[in-house]
Each structure stands twice: as structure tokens, then as C-alpha cells.
Amino acid sequence: MNKLFYITTAIDYVNGRPHLGHAYEKVVADVIARWRRSLGVETYFLTGLDEHGQKVQQAALAEGKAPGVYCDELAAIWQAFAAKLDLSNDDFVRTTQPRHQQVLQAILARLHAEGRLYKENYEGFYSTREETFLTEKDRRADGSFDPAWGEVVRLQEQNYYFKLRDHQAWLIEHLERNPSFVAPDYRRNEVLGFLKNNVLEDLCISRPAARLNWGVPLPFDSDYVTYVWFDALTNYISVPAAAGDPGVPEHLRPRRPAPESPPHLWPADIHLIGKDILKFHAVYWPIMLKAVGAALPRQILVHGWWQKDGQRMSKSTGNTVDPLAVIEQWGVDAFRFYVLRELDIGPDGNWTDAGLEGRYTAELANGLGNLVNRSLSMLKRYRNGAVPPVSNELASEAEKVVAQTRACLDRNQLQAALLSIWSLVTRANQYVDHTAPFKLAKDPSQARRLDEVLYNLAEVCRILAVLLWPFLPGTACKLYAQLGLSAVPDRFAAAAWAGLPPGHVIGSPAPLFPRKDA
């Protein structure tokens, strides 16, 4: 079986409800996945939940629930959220699933058997909130720790460590030889800078079960559970491994008869993550994979962080965006459009309610919505909805936009792709104003000219549906339905000019983005 295009997102901590940052990342991954599918590339899109560790255990405790029950309840909410975002994910992994835990334990057993782990005593500082050990370097001049670490306690305990140092030179070389391994470039430079200026500390991969029992037991020492990050990172390979993926080394696949034609996913093509978890993905994860003899992912694609009104989002100050409320009020495609149009993959972004409203009105309602509505209404009114003979007046401009959009999407430049698509929206709206079909309709001698204009407009609308499908799948489908086309606009090849057959009768136009004049 051919290798599929395999894209993953970070798996979210299930210690609360989904917020804007979670939603943004998943929508970006969804657009990339849909884009590949639209090109005819078989694609697998994985997202899911990170359910173990102290954060989750404490959150469950605070609600007086057993962690398993607490996770099950929230997982249902998060899965429903994925559907609300119109995600086309093929799978939803939860780190509490046996399929994941089995592979994680196989990885741990392998590392242990090969002598890559060792047990040692640790005495020092520990951030409970971040579940991480801190060193003298993390202390401020006055001896205190940054409040971002939360409560810092002194700790003395034995743990298992994963040897990292031997891999440092190799990883630097890998990053240097594969410039697109971490994107954008400035994130790659950040990782290289870190690796070149620091000696890697070995990674503590266990937590004593006596202190934290909400985790996957180490297969070789049941007094310990696996450190939550080591557990979480493996989700990317545990899902393919459990399905019998031939791209995963055999020793990591469960020893049961593989399904007849398991999907070939590994190595992942894109791990999409936020900037805060770069080190885990670009340093620890490649080393873990190399140590177990698995191929490395092709790219770690790093997005920035959202703020709201120029401030960090935080539940405690109430400065948050509730994606569900936004979707309720504006519709899922308006939400998707705003985040994708506002923020390119890489830099940080700033959410403002006024920004959302402004883009909704200008670009969705008055731009795209108005174009489609007036084009189809005129076709209905002046030609009873029947598509006139083919005319190529806007063909070359549309073809240019199609090529440009494709070039942007091939490079994961989603914001630039939207700009390109909207250049066609704007052009077609100007075309209506310049050709004034409503005037042509009054003059029977202009019937042929009116035919030409109506064809060009309807065909641009159809092409827009195809280009928009990865971004705004619901809108693209509605547009196709209004054109009276029964197919789904999910094939990029359909963006070729003159797809609308003359004589075809369109459906009923209806506003795609009702104006919210309130």
C-alpha cells in the first residue's frame, strides 16, 4: 500500500474545556489535510487528547471524580468540539486507550532492554504545575522561581532517566542537513541555537507511582508510571503501530496478526504544534525515535500563540475567547475564516471581536456572499437559472488565481492562499460593477453580452467553491448546492475553467453569510 500523507496535531490536555489556541491548531491541520485530499493524495489526520499526568489528576480531584471518569466525560466534550469545528480527522487518540499504552510500553521495554535507561537519585526543585524538575539555572537572582512554574517544591526521589547526550551531535547534523525539518526557519534556528549552546540533560521519564498514579506503568518497574510527555509524544506512532503500519519497525507493532492491508502512515509528514512545545518535539521526540529505530517525522510545523486584545488569554482574568460561543453566533466557517485569514502559521496573533466582525462583514458578507448571491440571483432572474454558453472572459485571471492558490497551499501558506482566493472575489465583484448586467438585461440587443457575463460569474463562483473547500467546507458545499451541483467540491482538479455545462440549471440562491447589522 502507498504511504499516506500523515498529519498530526498536539494532543490537548484534558484538564478543562477547549479554547481558541486548541481550536486554531486543529483548524490549521484540517485545512492542510483537506488540501492534500483535494489533490487526490490519500491523507490521514490524527488529533486527540493527552489524558495522563498530574494536571489531569489534580483537575479530576478538584471535581471529586476518579481520573478515568473525569477523562471520559471531558473526552466526549472534546470530540463533539472537533465535530463542531468541522474537522475531517480520521482518528481521535486518547492516551488512556489500550492501543496506545501497549505501544508505549513496547517502546519503554525496548529502551530498557538496550540499556538506554538508568535509575538515579534526584534531589532538587520540582514544579508541580509543569511536572518538571528545575535546576539552579531556573532560579532568579533572589533565589525565587518564575511564577509561571507555579508551586515549586523540594524533592528527593529515585527515577528512570533516558540518555540523551550521545545523540546531541547527530541531531544537530540532522537539523542542518534537513532545513525543512522544523518550520518556519526561525524556529529551526531556535532549536539549533539551543542544541549548540547547551549540553543536553538526560530526560527523566518516570514518576514514582506513590506520588502520581495517573499514568502508564513502566513495564519493567511497577513502582513507577511514565512521565506524561514521554507518554504523550508516542501517540503519533502508537496509533499507526497499533494498526499494523508497515512503516513502523516490527518490534514496536503489537504481536497479533496485522489487518490485511494496514495503512502505511509512518513517518509522519507533518507534526503541527504550538511554539511552546517545540523542544519536546524537535529535541526529545527525534531522539526517542532514533533510539527505537524508527524513522523521523518529515516536518515539525510550528504555529504561534493567540492573544486576546493584546493580552495573554487567561481563565483567571476572564480574558478568553470561547470558540463555541463564536461558532454559535457567527457560524463555524466565519470562525475558521477569521483565524486562518488573521494569522499565518508562525507568528503570534491577536484576537479582537471587532476584527472578527470586520472581516465577517467586509470579506464574507459583502465580499464572497454578495458576489455569489447577486451572480446566481441574476442568472435565475434573467435566464431562469440555465447556464449560458461557455465564455472565457475571466478564464485566464481565474487560472492565475488557481495556480497561485495551489503554490501557496503546497507551502502551507494558508493566509496567502486566502488572499489569493479573495483577489478573485474582488475581481469578480468589480466585473459585476463594470459590466452592469442589470442594465444589459434591459436591452434585448445585449442578450449575448449578458450571457457572457452571467457565464463568467457563475463559473467563478463554482471555482471559488473548489478553492474554498479546504478552508470553509460547509460554505463550499452550500455554494455547490446553490449552483445545482450534486457533487462535493472536494477535488482541486475541478478548479479548471469551463466546468459548468451550458444548459445546466442552477439551484436557489440564498445568502451564505447573512449580514449582522443588529
In which residue are the cell numbers 495517573 written?
214
Residue span binding ligand MSP (CB under 6 A) among the ranges 21-29, 318-326, 446-454, 501-509: 21-29
| 117 lies in the binding site for ligand MSP (CB under 6 A) | no
* Region 220-279 residues binding ligand MSP, contact defined as CB under 6 A: 232-233, 273-274, 276-277
**CB nearer to ligand MSP: pick between 22 and 116:** 22
Compute the least distance from the CB of residue 229 to ligand MSP, in Å. 7
**Contact present, 31 and 333 (Cβ < 8 Å):** no
Residue span binding ligand MSP (CB under 6 A) among the ranges 8-16, 246-254, 291-299, 358-366: 8-16
Compute the least distance from the CB of residue 345 to ligand MSP, in Å. 11
CA distance 465 to 426: 15
* Region 305-324 residues binding ligand MSP, contact defined as CB under 6 A: 305-306, 313
Residue span binding ligand MSP (CB under 6 A) among the ranges 10-18, 121-129, 318-326, 403-411: 10-18
**Contact present, 11 and 232 (Cβ < 8 Å):** yes
| 50 lies in the binding site for ligand MSP (CB under 6 A) | yes
Q: Which region, left, alpha or beta, applies to residue 310 given φ > 0 means left and ψ of -120 to 50 means alpha?
A: left
Site string for ligand MSP, 353-392 (x = CB under 6 A): ----------------------------------------
Out of 5, 7, 12, 431, point to the residue binding ligand MSP (CB under 6 A). 12
**CB nearer to ligand MSP: pick between 11 and 368:** 11
**Contact present, 56 and 225 (Cβ < 8 Å):** no
**Contact present, 35 and 470 (Cβ < 8 Å):** yes
**Contact present, 212 and 157 (Cβ < 8 Å):** no
Hey, is 248 helix, strand or coil? coil
Residue span binding ligand MSP (CB under 6 A) among the ranges 18-26, 205-213, 399-407, 453-461: 18-26
Residues forming a β-bridge with 273: 302
Helical (H) or strand (E) element with 204: strand 203-204
Out of 4, 6, 7, 22, point to the residue binding ligand MSP (CB under 6 A). 22
Q: How many residues sit in the footprint of ligand MSP (CB under 6 A)? A: 18
Number of H helices, E strands in the chain: 19, 17
CA distance 261 to 265: 12
* Region 447-476 residues binding ligand MSP, contact defined as CB under 6 A: none
**Contact present, 359 and 337 (Cβ < 8 Å):** yes
Total Cβ atoms within 10 A of residue 210: 9
**CB nearer to ligand MSP: pick between 218 and 288:** 288
Hey, is 480 helix, strand or coil? helix
**Contact present, 323 and 20 (Cβ < 8 Å):** yes
Residue span binding ligand MSP (CB under 6 A) among the ranges 4-12, 61-69, 162-170, 479-487: 4-12
Compute the least distance from the CB of residue 41 to ligand MSP, in Å. 24
Q: Which residues bind ligand MSP (CB under 6 A)?
A: 10-13, 21-22, 24-25, 50, 232-233, 273-274, 276-277, 305-306, 313
